[in-house]
Amino acid sequence: MEIRMLEQPELLPALHLVWEVYADSIAPKSSPEGVAAFQKFIQYDYISEVWQRRELIFFGAYENGTLCGTLALRPDGHIALFFVAKERQGQGIGRILFDHVYHYCAQYLHGSRLTVNADPDAVERYIHLGMRPVSGEQKREGMCYVPMEMYVNLSMVSLKNQRSKAPWIALGAFGLILVLVFSFIGVKAGREFERALGHQRNWNDDEPDYDDDYDYDDDYYFDYDNGFGDYEMPYEFGGGLYEEPEEISGIWAIPEMIDDNVTYELNEDSYDFVDDEKQSMVIQFNVTYPVVNGLSDASVEKKVNDILKERAMETVKRIYDEPAPEIKERVIAEQYPILMDYVEYKVCYASEDFLCVVYEDYGYEGGQSYYVQHLRTCNISLKDGTVYEVKDIVKLSDTFLEDWLSRMRSEAEDDTFLAEADLETLKKALEGDSQDGVYEVIYFLDADGIEIGFDLNYAQDDENDRGYVWVTAPFTFDEIESHASGSSLWKELG
C-alpha cells in the first residue's frame, strides 16, 4: 500500500471515488439540502482552486496503481474529506491513511491537533479510538454532528514505513491495531485523563507527547467553517464510520451464547493509567474486563473476579508491574521508549455455572519496533472458580490431534501450517508447554461450539511465521463429544 500526496491530475479520480461512496452510502440518508451542499463542495473547479492555494492537501492510498482511498486535510489539521472505496472498506486502508496524515501533520504542518465533526452514531467509536468530544451534539443546515479532537505529538515527527495488512485469522486488519496504538500513545498537549493509579517506575527516561490517532475507515467528511475563499462549506462528512456487517472481525465476530436466565449480572470495569511525569517515555494502559455480580457465594464471586482481572492484566504485569529483564533493556536502549497495552474483551459463553471470556490485547513492549498482539481466554466455573484448561476438558489422543491439526490448517488455508512441530510437540503445547512462548494455548466456547488453538508468538524473522496472530480450530459440540474428557465443565454448560 502506497500513501502519497495527490498531484492535480489525480484530483478528479479522487473526487469520483468520493462521490461514488457518498452517493451509495450517505446520500440516501441525508437531506436534499445536505446532498446539494456536498455536490457543490466537491466540484472539480472549486477543489482544484483550493488545492492550488494549498488550502486543501489531498492524500491517496494506492495499491497496484489503483486509488483505494483519499483524505483531504486543511493546513490547520482539520479533515475535510475522508473516503475509502466501498469494495476496499474494512481492510484498514483508511486507518493507514490516517496514520500517515497524523505524522504529516506533526512533521510538516507542526499542528498541535487534528479535528473532526463526527456523526452522532460514530461518537462512541471515536472515543474508543482516542478522540474526545469538545461539545455536545450540534445541528447545522440539517446535519447533526459532534465536534471532536485529538492532540498531535510534535516530538515524534518521523514518518513510519507503512505496513501491509497481516493475514490474521479472525482478528481482521492490522491497520486497526496501528490506529489503537497511536490512539493511546501520549496524552500531554493539554489533555487531562482520569487516572486509576498514580504509581510510576524509574526507567532512566522520560515520556514523549505522542498523541492520539484515529480513523474512519468507511467515512465521509465535509466541514463547517473552513474559510476557503467565499464558499463556506456547511458541514463535514466523515464522521459516520460506516461499516458493512460482514466486515466485523476479531473477537466481535465470535457468535456468543448468553443465557438470558442467569441469576447473576455481568458488568464492566477497567484499569486506566497514564504516567505523565516523564518527558521522553510513553507509559499508558487501558485494560477492560468483565465483573460478575450476584453469585450466591461471595467468596467464589471474589475469586472469579480476581481471576478475570488478572487474566486481563497479564501484559501490564509482565511489562510494567514486574518487568522482565528484556523489557528493561529495551526501554533503556530506545530513543522513545513506549510501554502501552490496550485490552478489550468479549463474553462468548455464559451459563448459570460457567463463563468464557476472550481478551484481545495489543500494544508496545518497549518501543515502536516491539509491537505485539495477543489473544487470551479464560474459561471459569462460577460454582467454585475453577479455571479449565484444554488438557482438562479434551482427551489429547492421536486421533484428536490429527483431527485438530487438519482443522487448524483448514482455518489457516495452509497445508504446511505448524509443520515445524511434530504431534508430540503440539500435544505438549496444548497441555500448556508453550515451547518458549511460541504456542500459547487458547480455547473458547461460543454459540457454535468450541474452538481450540494457539496465540502465536514466533521470533522475528522466523521462517515458520505465516503472519497469524492466533488461529483456532472449530468444533461443534457434537464433533467434540467423542474427544471430551470427563471434566465437570461439560456439565456446567447448561
Provide the domain limits for residue 417. 388-494
Residue 17 lies in a domain: yes
Please tell me the total count of domains within the chain: 2
Domain CATH number, residue 66: 3.40.630.30
Residue 111 lies in a domain: yes
Q: Which range among 62-66, 150-154, 332-336 has the greatest average pLDDT?
A: 62-66
pTM greater than 0.75? no
Residue 364 lies in a domain: no
* pLDDT over 60 at 220, yes or no: no
The predicted pLDDT at position 300 comes to 98
The predicted pLDDT at position 385 comes to 96
The predicted pLDDT at position 404 comes to 98
Residue 184 lies in a domain: no
The predicted pLDDT at position 26 comes to 75
The predicted pLDDT at position 279 comes to 63
% the chain with pLDDT above 70: 76
Instruction: Look at residues 247, 266, 295 and tell me which one is the last residue of a structural domain.
Output: 247
Residue 62 lies in a domain: yes
The predicted pLDDT at position 29 comes to 76
Question: What band does 193 get if pLDDT is binned at 50, 70 and 90?
Answer: very low
The predicted pLDDT at position 175 comes to 38
Residue 196 lies in a domain: no
The predicted pLDDT at position 222 comes to 46
Instruction: Look at residues 192, 222, 247 and tell me which one is the last residue of a structural domain.
Output: 247
The predicted pLDDT at position 84 comes to 86
The predicted pLDDT at position 148 comes to 78
| Tens digit of each residue's pLDDT (9 = 90 or more) over 4-24 | 999 988 999 999 998 988 888
| Tens digit of each residue's pLDDT (9 = 90 or more) over 235-265 | 344 443 333 333 445 788 899 999 999 999 9
| Tens digit of each residue's pLDDT (9 = 90 or more) over 131-179 | 678 888 887 765 667 887 877 765 444 333 322 223 333 333 333 334 3
The predicted pLDDT at position 408 comes to 96
Residue 487 lies in a domain: yes
For 169-198, what is the mean pLDDT? 34
Instruction: Look at residues 247, 270, 300 and tell me which one is the last residue of a structural domain.
Output: 247
Q: Which range among 154-158, 161-165, 329-333, 371-375 has the greatest average pLDDT?
A: 329-333
* pLDDT over 80 at 207, yes or no: no
Write down the mean pLDDT value for the chain: 78
Q: Which three cell numbers stand for residue 487?
A: 471434566
| Tens digit of each residue's pLDDT (9 = 90 or more) over 83-112 | 889 888 877 787 788 778 877 887 778 777
Question: What band does 233 get if pLDDT is binned at 50, 70 and 90?
Answer: very low
